[in-house]
Amino acid sequence: MVFKKISDLLCEIGATLLKDYQSKAVDLAKIETASLYIRGIKALREHFIAVVTLVFSLLLLAFAVILIPLALVLCMDWTAGAKVSALGVLSVFYIGIPWVVVRRFLSEKTWMRLSKSDELLEKVVGR
């Protein structure tokens, strides 16, 4: 009878240790999965940034920086000072505003929110 109780106690201790080990293994797997997911999103974001930057740069170079301001300034009957001022204002609008918009959209914080990586990170770390 004593051996039966000791045997049952040892089995219960073994089962408890096995459950704890299994729980830790599952937690580690969740952390690894979250880490891989976040690294994948980061890589996707970096590639997306490269493509968007390339397209944006080409469009900006072709239309906004060269053709539109040059055509507007050359067609107007303004003094040289007025033409320079007009080019400065157009440059701010054509370069500054798209730069702010693209920079905000491509920020890491925005990508973390859009991909819900921040929520995943909170679930994994915030236990």
Residue 124 confidence class, pLDDT cut points 50, 70, 90: confident
Which residue's structure tokens are 């990508």? 111
For the chain, which residues make up each domain, given as ranges? Answer: 2-125
pLDDT in tens, 33-88: 888 888 888 888 888 988 888 888 777 777 776 777 778 777 888 888 888 888 88
Checking 43-51 for CB contacts under 8 A at 24+ apart, the result is 45/106, 45/108, 45/111, 48/106, 49/106
Q: Which of 2-6, 14-18, 74-78, 102-106 has the lowest mean pLDDT?
A: 2-6
Residue 5 confidence class, pLDDT cut points 50, 70, 90: confident
DSSP character string of 7-63: HHHHHHHHHHHHHHHHHHHHHHHHHHHHHHHHHHHHHHHHHHHHHHHHHHHHHIIII
The three state secondary structure string of 73-99 is: HHHCCCCHHHHHHHHHHHHHHHHHHHH
